[in-house]
Amino acid sequence: MSFTPVRIGLIGAGRIGASHASVIARRVPEAQLVAVADPRPGVAADLAEPLGARGETSPEAIFAADDVDAVVIAASSTAHAELIVAAADAGKHVFSEKPAGMSLAEIEQGITATAKAGVAFQVGFNRRFAADFRAAHDAIAAGRIGTVRQLRSVTRDPGSGPADPDVVPPWTIFTQTLIHDFDTLNWLNPGARAVDVVATADSLTAPGHPTLLDHANVVIRFDNGAIATAEASFAAAYGYDVRGEVLGSAGMVTAGEGATSSMRLHDASGRLAATAHGDVELMIDAYTAEFAEFAAAILEGRTPSVTGDAARAAFAIAQACIESYQSGTRAKVQG
Ligand SMILES: NC(=O)c1ccc[n+]([C@@H]2O[C@H](COP(=O)([O-])OP(=O)(O)OC[C@H]3O[C@@H](n4cnc5c(N)ncnc54)[C@H](O)[C@@H]3O)[C@@H](O)[C@H]2O)c1
Protein backbone atom coordinates (compact mmCIF):
# COMPACT_ATOMS: atom_id res chain seq x y z
CA MET A 1 0.00 0.00 0.00
CA SER A 2 1.42 3.41 -0.86
CA PHE A 3 0.94 6.41 1.41
CA THR A 4 2.27 9.90 1.99
CA PRO A 5 3.91 9.98 5.43
CA VAL A 6 2.32 12.12 8.13
CA ARG A 7 4.49 15.24 8.52
CA ILE A 8 5.37 15.75 12.18
CA GLY A 9 6.42 18.82 14.15
CA LEU A 10 7.86 17.88 17.55
CA ILE A 11 7.68 20.30 20.48
CA GLY A 12 10.18 19.93 23.31
CA ALA A 13 13.73 18.78 22.61
CA GLY A 14 14.65 17.55 26.07
CA ARG A 15 15.56 14.03 27.12
CA ILE A 16 12.51 12.19 25.80
CA GLY A 17 11.92 14.65 22.93
CA ALA A 18 15.38 13.82 21.58
CA SER A 19 14.55 10.12 21.65
CA HIS A 20 11.11 10.64 20.09
CA ALA A 21 12.58 12.77 17.28
CA SER A 22 15.05 10.05 16.42
CA VAL A 23 12.41 7.30 16.65
CA ILE A 24 10.01 9.20 14.37
CA ALA A 25 12.72 10.08 11.84
CA ARG A 26 14.43 6.69 11.72
CA ARG A 27 11.98 3.99 12.79
CA VAL A 28 8.47 4.99 11.65
CA PRO A 29 8.00 4.85 7.85
CA GLU A 30 4.45 6.23 8.12
CA ALA A 31 5.79 9.48 9.64
CA GLN A 32 8.27 12.15 8.58
CA LEU A 33 9.93 14.51 11.07
CA VAL A 34 9.90 17.98 9.50
CA ALA A 35 10.47 20.35 12.42
CA VAL A 36 11.43 20.50 16.10
CA ALA A 37 10.72 23.44 18.43
CA ASP A 38 12.26 24.26 21.79
CA PRO A 39 12.78 27.68 23.40
CA ARG A 40 16.33 26.83 24.52
CA PRO A 41 18.61 28.49 21.95
CA GLY A 42 20.09 26.12 19.36
CA VAL A 43 18.80 22.95 21.00
CA ALA A 44 16.03 22.25 18.47
CA ALA A 45 18.28 22.85 15.46
CA ASP A 46 21.04 20.66 16.90
CA LEU A 47 18.54 17.84 17.28
CA ALA A 48 16.56 18.38 14.07
CA GLU A 49 19.19 19.03 11.44
CA PRO A 50 21.04 15.68 11.61
CA LEU A 51 17.60 14.06 11.28
CA GLY A 52 16.79 16.05 8.10
CA ALA A 53 14.38 18.45 9.83
CA ARG A 54 14.52 22.13 10.80
CA GLY A 55 14.78 23.69 14.23
CA GLU A 56 12.45 26.37 15.58
CA THR A 57 12.53 28.31 18.85
CA SER A 58 8.78 28.59 19.34
CA PRO A 59 5.86 26.16 19.11
CA GLU A 60 3.91 28.86 17.24
CA ALA A 61 6.21 28.35 14.24
CA ILE A 62 5.11 24.71 14.18
CA PHE A 63 1.43 25.55 14.53
CA ALA A 64 1.69 28.04 11.63
CA ALA A 65 3.64 25.72 9.32
CA ASP A 66 1.79 24.44 6.24
CA ASP A 67 4.10 21.44 6.00
CA VAL A 68 3.15 20.10 9.46
CA ASP A 69 0.13 17.75 9.67
CA ALA A 70 0.57 16.62 13.24
CA VAL A 71 2.28 17.73 16.43
CA VAL A 72 4.09 15.55 18.97
CA ILE A 73 4.29 17.29 22.35
CA ALA A 74 7.28 16.25 24.47
CA ALA A 75 7.70 19.55 26.32
CA SER A 76 7.67 19.84 30.12
CA SER A 77 4.45 18.51 31.63
CA THR A 78 3.14 21.90 32.79
CA ALA A 79 3.09 23.09 29.15
CA HIS A 80 1.09 20.15 27.73
CA ALA A 81 -2.48 21.40 28.15
CA GLU A 82 -1.90 24.78 26.53
CA LEU A 83 0.09 23.24 23.66
CA ILE A 84 -2.60 20.59 23.00
CA VAL A 85 -5.31 23.26 22.69
CA ALA A 86 -3.13 25.53 20.52
CA ALA A 87 -2.21 22.65 18.21
CA ALA A 88 -5.85 21.59 17.84
CA ASP A 89 -6.94 25.17 17.20
CA ALA A 90 -4.33 25.29 14.41
CA GLY A 91 -5.90 22.15 12.88
CA LYS A 92 -3.00 19.82 13.70
CA HIS A 93 -3.42 16.24 14.87
CA VAL A 94 -2.02 15.89 18.40
CA PHE A 95 0.13 13.38 20.23
CA SER A 96 0.93 14.47 23.79
CA GLU A 97 3.25 12.92 26.27
CA LYS A 98 1.68 12.10 29.62
CA PRO A 99 0.18 13.69 31.59
CA ALA A 100 -2.15 15.43 29.10
CA GLY A 101 -2.61 18.21 31.67
CA MET A 102 -1.92 19.00 35.30
CA SER A 103 -5.58 18.76 36.36
CA LEU A 104 -8.75 17.04 35.17
CA ALA A 105 -10.02 20.43 33.94
CA GLU A 106 -6.89 20.93 31.81
CA ILE A 107 -7.20 17.44 30.32
CA GLU A 108 -10.86 18.12 29.54
CA GLN A 109 -9.85 21.27 27.64
CA GLY A 110 -7.59 19.18 25.38
CA ILE A 111 -10.31 16.59 24.79
CA THR A 112 -12.80 19.32 23.89
CA ALA A 113 -10.41 21.26 21.64
CA THR A 114 -9.28 18.21 19.65
CA ALA A 115 -12.87 16.95 19.27
CA LYS A 116 -14.03 20.38 18.10
CA ALA A 117 -11.20 20.59 15.57
CA GLY A 118 -11.87 17.03 14.37
CA VAL A 119 -8.21 16.05 14.79
CA ALA A 120 -6.68 12.87 16.18
CA PHE A 121 -5.61 12.98 19.85
CA GLN A 122 -3.31 10.32 21.28
CA VAL A 123 -1.61 10.26 24.69
CA GLY A 124 1.82 8.72 25.40
CA PHE A 125 0.89 5.64 27.39
CA ASN A 126 3.65 3.66 25.70
CA ARG A 127 3.31 0.62 27.96
CA ARG A 128 0.23 -0.32 25.92
CA PHE A 129 2.53 -0.79 22.92
CA ALA A 130 5.13 -3.00 24.63
CA ALA A 131 4.78 -6.48 23.12
CA ASP A 132 4.52 -8.30 26.47
CA PHE A 133 1.92 -5.92 27.94
CA ARG A 134 -0.05 -6.03 24.67
CA ALA A 135 -0.05 -9.85 24.73
CA ALA A 136 -1.21 -9.79 28.37
CA HIS A 137 -4.03 -7.42 27.47
CA ASP A 138 -5.10 -9.54 24.51
CA ALA A 139 -5.13 -12.71 26.64
CA ILE A 140 -7.32 -10.98 29.26
CA ALA A 141 -9.65 -9.54 26.61
CA ALA A 142 -9.98 -13.02 25.05
CA GLY A 143 -11.11 -14.40 28.42
CA ARG A 144 -8.04 -16.61 28.90
CA ILE A 145 -7.76 -15.86 32.64
CA GLY A 146 -11.49 -15.66 33.32
CA THR A 147 -12.82 -12.89 35.54
CA VAL A 148 -10.20 -10.31 36.53
CA ARG A 149 -9.84 -10.21 40.33
CA GLN A 150 -6.43 -8.88 41.38
CA LEU A 151 -3.93 -6.69 39.50
CA ARG A 152 -0.46 -5.37 40.17
CA SER A 153 1.62 -2.75 38.35
CA VAL A 154 5.15 -1.71 39.22
CA THR A 155 7.39 1.15 38.05
CA ARG A 156 10.87 1.60 39.45
CA ASP A 157 13.18 4.25 38.09
CA PRO A 158 16.87 3.39 37.98
CA GLY A 159 19.48 4.88 40.30
CA SER A 160 19.68 6.00 43.88
CA GLY A 161 16.99 8.67 43.88
CA PRO A 162 16.68 12.28 42.70
CA ALA A 163 20.02 14.14 42.64
CA ASP A 164 18.23 17.29 43.77
CA PRO A 165 14.93 16.56 45.54
CA ASP A 166 14.09 20.30 45.54
CA VAL A 167 13.58 20.34 41.76
CA VAL A 168 11.16 17.40 41.69
CA PRO A 169 7.68 18.98 41.36
CA PRO A 170 5.25 18.00 44.14
CA TRP A 171 3.10 14.92 43.42
CA THR A 172 5.38 13.77 40.57
CA ILE A 173 5.19 10.16 41.76
CA PHE A 174 1.40 10.12 41.24
CA THR A 175 0.85 12.46 38.27
CA GLN A 176 3.92 11.59 36.18
CA THR A 177 5.24 8.18 37.22
CA LEU A 178 2.32 6.11 38.53
CA ILE A 179 0.09 7.64 35.83
CA HIS A 180 1.55 4.91 33.58
CA ASP A 181 0.53 2.24 36.10
CA PHE A 182 -2.96 3.70 36.52
CA ASP A 183 -3.50 3.60 32.76
CA THR A 184 -2.06 0.09 32.56
CA LEU A 185 -4.38 -1.14 35.31
CA ASN A 186 -7.42 0.49 33.67
CA TRP A 187 -6.47 -1.11 30.34
CA LEU A 188 -5.76 -4.57 31.81
CA ASN A 189 -9.18 -4.54 33.52
CA PRO A 190 -11.28 -3.97 30.38
CA GLY A 191 -14.54 -2.12 30.84
CA ALA A 192 -14.02 -1.51 34.57
CA ARG A 193 -13.74 1.89 36.26
CA ALA A 194 -11.67 2.77 39.32
CA VAL A 195 -13.89 3.61 42.28
CA ASP A 196 -11.55 4.64 45.09
CA VAL A 197 -7.93 4.55 46.28
CA VAL A 198 -5.78 4.43 49.37
CA ALA A 199 -2.31 5.90 48.81
CA THR A 200 0.72 5.67 51.06
CA ALA A 201 3.93 7.46 50.08
CA ASP A 202 7.11 8.78 51.61
CA SER A 203 10.52 10.26 50.95
CA LEU A 204 12.91 7.41 51.68
CA THR A 205 15.99 8.62 49.77
CA ALA A 206 15.85 12.08 51.38
CA PRO A 207 14.12 11.46 54.71
CA GLY A 208 12.19 14.43 56.01
CA HIS A 209 12.18 16.31 52.69
CA PRO A 210 9.13 18.61 52.70
CA THR A 211 7.74 17.77 49.24
CA LEU A 212 9.58 14.80 47.74
CA LEU A 213 7.67 11.51 47.58
CA ASP A 214 9.98 8.87 46.09
CA HIS A 215 8.19 5.65 47.06
CA ALA A 216 4.45 5.01 46.87
CA ASN A 217 2.02 2.12 47.19
CA VAL A 218 -1.56 2.57 46.04
CA VAL A 219 -4.52 0.23 46.42
CA ILE A 220 -7.31 0.76 43.90
CA ARG A 221 -10.80 -0.76 43.96
CA PHE A 222 -12.69 -1.15 40.67
CA ASP A 223 -16.42 -1.26 40.00
CA ASN A 224 -16.19 -4.88 38.79
CA GLY A 225 -14.91 -5.92 42.22
CA ALA A 226 -11.26 -6.23 41.20
CA ILE A 227 -8.54 -4.91 43.54
CA ALA A 228 -5.26 -3.51 42.24
CA THR A 229 -1.93 -2.42 43.63
CA ALA A 230 0.27 0.19 41.94
CA GLU A 231 3.76 0.62 43.27
CA ALA A 232 6.54 3.07 42.35
CA SER A 233 10.08 3.80 43.47
CA PHE A 234 12.54 6.42 42.24
CA ALA A 235 15.51 4.37 43.41
CA ALA A 236 16.04 0.90 41.94
CA ALA A 237 19.76 0.16 42.12
CA TYR A 238 19.48 -2.59 39.50
CA GLY A 239 17.77 -0.68 36.68
CA TYR A 240 14.50 0.48 35.14
CA ASP A 241 11.82 -2.00 36.17
CA VAL A 242 8.32 -2.11 34.73
CA ARG A 243 6.05 -5.07 35.45
CA GLY A 244 2.42 -6.07 35.50
CA GLU A 245 0.45 -9.04 36.78
CA VAL A 246 -3.22 -9.92 36.58
CA LEU A 247 -4.91 -12.78 38.43
CA GLY A 248 -8.24 -14.01 37.17
CA SER A 249 -10.69 -16.78 38.06
CA ALA A 250 -9.08 -19.09 35.50
CA GLY A 251 -5.40 -18.13 35.59
CA MET A 252 -2.82 -15.37 35.62
CA VAL A 253 -0.81 -13.26 33.16
CA THR A 254 2.43 -11.45 33.84
CA ALA A 255 4.27 -8.88 31.72
CA GLY A 256 7.63 -7.20 32.01
CA GLU A 257 10.75 -8.90 33.15
CA GLY A 258 13.20 -6.02 33.04
CA ALA A 259 15.85 -8.11 31.33
CA THR A 260 17.22 -6.67 28.10
CA SER A 261 17.33 -10.10 26.46
CA SER A 262 16.61 -13.72 27.30
CA MET A 263 20.37 -14.41 27.55
CA ARG A 264 21.45 -15.59 31.00
CA LEU A 265 25.03 -15.67 32.14
CA HIS A 266 25.64 -18.66 34.36
CA ASP A 267 28.84 -18.38 36.38
CA ALA A 268 30.17 -18.79 39.89
CA SER A 269 27.93 -15.99 41.16
CA GLY A 270 24.77 -17.56 39.82
CA ARG A 271 22.39 -17.08 36.89
CA LEU A 272 22.48 -13.46 35.75
CA ALA A 273 20.25 -11.33 33.51
CA ALA A 274 21.25 -7.89 32.22
CA THR A 275 18.67 -5.20 33.05
CA ALA A 276 17.77 -1.97 31.25
CA HIS A 277 18.92 1.20 32.96
CA GLY A 278 16.50 3.62 31.34
CA ASP A 279 13.05 4.00 29.81
CA VAL A 280 14.36 4.50 26.28
CA GLU A 281 16.52 1.38 26.50
CA LEU A 282 13.63 -0.77 27.75
CA MET A 283 10.79 0.81 25.77
CA ILE A 284 12.28 1.78 22.40
CA ASP A 285 10.07 -0.68 20.49
CA ALA A 286 7.00 0.49 22.41
CA TYR A 287 7.77 4.14 21.59
CA THR A 288 8.18 3.16 17.93
CA ALA A 289 4.86 1.31 17.93
CA GLU A 290 2.96 4.18 19.56
CA PHE A 291 4.11 6.61 16.86
CA ALA A 292 3.32 4.04 14.16
CA GLU A 293 -0.20 3.86 15.65
CA PHE A 294 -0.52 7.66 15.72
CA ALA A 295 0.50 7.97 12.06
CA ALA A 296 -1.65 5.01 11.00
CA ALA A 297 -4.71 6.45 12.74
CA ILE A 298 -4.24 9.76 10.89
CA LEU A 299 -3.67 8.07 7.53
CA GLU A 300 -6.72 5.84 8.03
CA GLY A 301 -8.90 8.67 9.38
CA ARG A 302 -9.71 6.82 12.58
CA THR A 303 -9.45 7.48 16.32
CA PRO A 304 -6.07 6.41 17.81
CA SER A 305 -6.23 3.48 20.23
CA VAL A 306 -5.17 5.57 23.26
CA THR A 307 -7.41 8.59 23.63
CA GLY A 308 -7.91 11.61 25.84
CA ASP A 309 -10.47 9.57 27.79
CA ALA A 310 -7.66 7.25 28.89
CA ALA A 311 -5.62 10.29 29.95
CA ARG A 312 -8.54 11.58 32.01
CA ALA A 313 -9.26 8.20 33.63
CA ALA A 314 -5.62 7.72 34.67
CA PHE A 315 -5.30 11.28 35.98
CA ALA A 316 -8.49 10.88 38.01
CA ILE A 317 -6.76 8.08 39.92
CA ALA A 318 -3.64 10.24 40.43
CA GLN A 319 -5.83 13.05 41.74
CA ALA A 320 -7.53 10.68 44.19
CA CYS A 321 -4.09 9.50 45.37
CA ILE A 322 -3.13 13.07 46.27
CA GLU A 323 -6.37 13.43 48.21
CA SER A 324 -5.86 10.10 49.98
CA TYR A 325 -2.25 10.95 50.87
CA GLN A 326 -3.31 14.32 52.27
CA SER A 327 -6.27 13.01 54.26
CA GLY A 328 -4.81 9.66 55.27
CA THR A 329 -8.07 8.00 54.24
CA ARG A 330 -9.70 6.33 51.23
CA ALA A 331 -10.50 8.81 48.41
CA LYS A 332 -13.08 8.51 45.65
CA VAL A 333 -11.98 8.57 41.99
CA GLN A 334 -13.93 11.16 40.00
CA GLY A 335 -16.01 9.44 37.32
N1 LIG B 1 6.13 8.17 28.20
C2 LIG B 1 7.30 8.11 28.77
O3 LIG B 1 7.83 7.02 28.96
C4 LIG B 1 8.01 9.36 29.17
C5 LIG B 1 9.34 9.28 29.55
C6 LIG B 1 9.97 10.46 29.90
C7 LIG B 1 9.31 11.67 29.89
N8 LIG B 1 8.00 11.71 29.54
C9 LIG B 1 7.27 12.99 29.52
O10 LIG B 1 7.86 13.79 28.50
C11 LIG B 1 7.89 15.15 28.91
C12 LIG B 1 9.31 15.69 28.79
O13 LIG B 1 10.14 14.96 29.66
P14 LIG B 1 11.74 15.10 29.58
O15 LIG B 1 12.30 14.11 30.53
O16 LIG B 1 12.19 15.05 28.15
O17 LIG B 1 11.93 16.58 30.14
P18 LIG B 1 13.13 17.60 29.85
O19 LIG B 1 13.09 18.57 30.96
O20 LIG B 1 14.39 16.87 29.56
O21 LIG B 1 12.70 18.32 28.50
C22 LIG B 1 11.62 19.21 28.40
C23 LIG B 1 11.89 20.14 27.22
O24 LIG B 1 10.70 20.89 26.97
C25 LIG B 1 11.10 22.22 26.64
N26 LIG B 1 9.94 23.09 26.88
C27 LIG B 1 9.46 23.50 28.06
N28 LIG B 1 8.37 24.28 27.86
C29 LIG B 1 8.18 24.32 26.51
C30 LIG B 1 7.21 24.95 25.68
N31 LIG B 1 6.20 25.69 26.18
N32 LIG B 1 7.32 24.79 24.34
C33 LIG B 1 8.32 24.05 23.83
N34 LIG B 1 9.26 23.42 24.56
C35 LIG B 1 9.19 23.57 25.89
C36 LIG B 1 12.30 22.48 27.51
O37 LIG B 1 13.09 23.54 27.00
C38 LIG B 1 13.02 21.14 27.46
O39 LIG B 1 13.93 21.08 26.38
C40 LIG B 1 7.32 15.19 30.34
O41 LIG B 1 5.98 15.59 30.25
C42 LIG B 1 7.41 13.75 30.81
O43 LIG B 1 6.34 13.42 31.69
C44 LIG B 1 7.35 10.58 29.16
269-290: per-residue pLDDT in tens?
Answer: 999 999 999 999 999 999 999 9
| Proportion of the chain in helix, strand, coil states, percent, rounded to 5 | 40, 25, 35
33 forms bridges with which residues in the sheet?
Answer: 8
Is 72 part of a structural domain of the chain? Answer: yes
Ligand 1 site, residue 90, Cβ cutoff 6 A: no
Is 305 part of a structural domain of the chain? Answer: no
| CATH code for the domain in which residue 228 is found | 3.30.360.10
Is 288 part of a structural domain of the chain? Answer: no
Q: Is the pLDDT of residue 1 over 70?
A: no
In this prediction, residues 38-59 reach a mean pLDDT of 98
Is 292 part of a structural domain of the chain? Answer: no
152 forms bridges with which residues in the sheet?
Answer: 229, 245
270 forms bridges with which residues in the sheet?
Answer: 267
Would you call 68 helix, strand, or coil by DSSP? coil
In this prediction, residues 137-147 reach a mean pLDDT of 98
**Residue 49: other Cβ atoms inside 10 A:** 12
Supply the mean pLDDT for the chain: 97
Considering only CA atoms, which of 100, 155, 185, 103 is closest in space to residue 279? 155
What is the enclosing helix (H) or strand (E) of 331?
strand 331-332
CA of 264 from ligand 1 middle (Å) equals 35
Which residue segment(s) compose the domain that 162 sits in? 128-283+314-332
Ligand 1 site, residue 69, Cβ cutoff 6 A: no
Does residue 226 share a domain with residue 194?
A: yes
Domain count, the chain: 2
Structural domain ending residue among the three candidates 119, 151, 170 = 119
Phi/psi class of residue 170: alpha, beta or left (left: φ > 0; alpha: ψ in -120 to 50)?
beta
Q: What is the pLDDT of residue 257?
A: 84
Structural domain ending residue among the three candidates 54, 86, 119 = 119
Ligand 1 site, residue 122, Cβ cutoff 6 A: no
Cβ 102 vs Cβ 175: under 8 Å: yes
Ligand 1 site, residue 9, Cβ cutoff 6 A: no
Does residue 146 share a domain with residue 101?
A: no
Does residue 275 share a domain with residue 200?
A: yes
Q: Is the pLDDT of residue 261 over 90?
A: no
Name the residue of 16, 83, 290, 306 to mutate for ligand 1: max ligand atoms within 8 A of Cβ.
16
CA of 309 from ligand 1 middle (Å) equals 22
Q: What is the pLDDT of residue 111?
A: 98
**Max CA distance (Å), the chain:** 63
Q: 250: which DSSP letter?
A: T
